[in-house]
Amino acid sequence: MPPPPDAEARRAVRPVICYPTDTLPAPDMALYGAALETAEVTATHIAAPREACCFEVPAGQFFRITCTGGPQVGDLNLWNAADLSERFYSGKTRALHGSHVSTGDRLWSSFPALRPLATVVRDDLDWYGIDAFGGSVHDVIGTRCDPYTGRLLSGSDYHHCCHSNLTRALADHLGLPLAEAEPHVHDVLNVFMCTGFTRDTGQYFMKSSPVRPGDALTFLAEIDLLGALSACPGGDCGAEHTSDSAPCFPLKVEILRPAPDALQGWVSPSRNAYDRSHGR
């Protein structure tokens, strides 16, 4: 369509932030950080390359995802351990905190609970910021690599996509058939992945992750959590993500319990207080 005479004036309207976060209840990061200093590892899980693992974290304890053998991206799902219908809501997390998360940001749960499931307490990649391409790490804009999109685009079946890895791991953990586990798998936090949108075409892009062995992303579990982490078949996601061609490494998940009273004053968040009458 030909642009209207006032096209430039309309384009020049300044944006406003959709969800200013100054009224969002803020986590006490000094308390969280001090509690993390006292925490000891109580369990360790490994997501093998092109596989996923499940883990449980009691409310008020930490979980830490660590890059081990080489640059590797992880796809994270989180659920309320007592009610799988409450799960990580990447879209609302994105609306509140932006396209990528880091220290102090929270992973929010689905409606109607809409509460923090976990808070990022420490991010060893927080130095990265936003690069010249508009890329950053730990995005909540991607979905997860999956065999359906692979089929659509390449016409072939690949079974070790993160969606399938998470489905198998959850099925094994809960003792469910694959068909019952699969609907619980949801859009992920792309741990360590470096992504953005191209400025000229607006397309989702990825580039080699800046993560190196020893780097970690650490969360406080705000409620009792069940988690699943897939070591993406894309490895560092510098080239492609739906094949066995990329070098791929394990990811470590550790559960850490803080010293008693180290989180004094912290309270596990309640479900959202909206009355759900929807105007009726």
Residues in touch with Zn ion (CB under 5 A): 75, 145, 162, 232
- CB-nearer residue toward Zn ion: 162 or 229: 162
DSSP sequence for 47-72: E-BT-EEEEEE-TT-EEEEEE-SS--
- CB-nearer residue toward Zn ion: 109 or 165: 165
Q: Is the C-alpha dihedral spanning 36, 43, 189, 129 positive or negative? A: positive
- CB-nearer residue toward Zn ion: 65 or 255: 65
Q: Give least dist CB 94 to Zn ion, A.
A: 18
Question: What count of other Cβ atoms lies within 10 Å of the Cβ of residue 52?
Answer: 29
Q: Give least dist CB 117 to Zn ion, A.
A: 21
Q: Give least dist CB 75 to Zn ion, A.
A: 5
- CB-nearer residue toward Zn ion: 162 or 255: 162
Distance separating the N- and C-terminal Cα atoms of the chain = 43
- CB-nearer residue toward Zn ion: 39 or 211: 211
163-172 contacts, C-beta under 8 A, 24 or more apart: 165/50, 165/51, 165/52, 165/75, 165/230, 165/231, 166/52, 166/75, 166/77, 166/228, 166/230, 168/51, 168/52, 169/51, 169/52, 169/53, 169/54, 169/228, 169/230, 170/54, 170/77, 170/228, 172/54
Cα separation, 263 vs 268, in Å, equals 11
Q: Give least dist CB 74 to Zn ion, A.
A: 8
Q: How far is CA 257 from CA 73, 127, 221, 260, in A?
A: 25, 27, 11, 9
- CB-nearer residue toward Zn ion: 220 or 237: 237
- CB-nearer residue toward Zn ion: 74 or 269: 74
Q: Give least dist CB 122 to Zn ion, A.
A: 24
Q: Which single residue is written with the structure tokens 């640059």? A: 71
Q: Give least dist CB 239 to Zn ion, A.
A: 13
Cα separation, 165 vs 158, in Å, equals 11
Q: Give least dist CB 161 to Zn ion, A.
A: 6
